Amino acid sequence: MSPVYELLTNVTGNLNKPVTLTLKFDTSKVKDGQHAAIYYFNEAQQRWIEIGGKVNGDVITAEVYLLAKFAVLVIEIKP
């Protein structure tokens, strides 16, 4: 849905305050019964983990406290 973006800093550890992450994505790829969400890649577990986010048109926004790789992914809505 979006490119992968990596949030980096020159110090180790996570952030003390949240950062607002806003990513643009292709809304035409979200079909009925699906929703878009921001995910981060957990390097230790080698998998994407959902953060969520608030969609407004073709952008999605969420507050994050960690430094990681982020992307917008689409998943099926569970009944």
Q: pLDDT tens digit string along 38-54?
A: 999 999 999 999 999 99
Phi, psi of 51 (to 5 degrees): -100, -40
Q: What gap in Å lies between CA 23 and CA 53, rounded to an integer?
A: 10
For residue 36, the model assigns a pLDDT of 93
Answer whether 51's CB lies under 8 Å from 35's CB: no
Domain that holds residue 24: 5-76
For residue 6, the model assigns a pLDDT of 86
For residue 38, the model assigns a pLDDT of 96
Number of domains in the chain: 1
Residues of the chain with pLDDT under 70: 10-14, 79
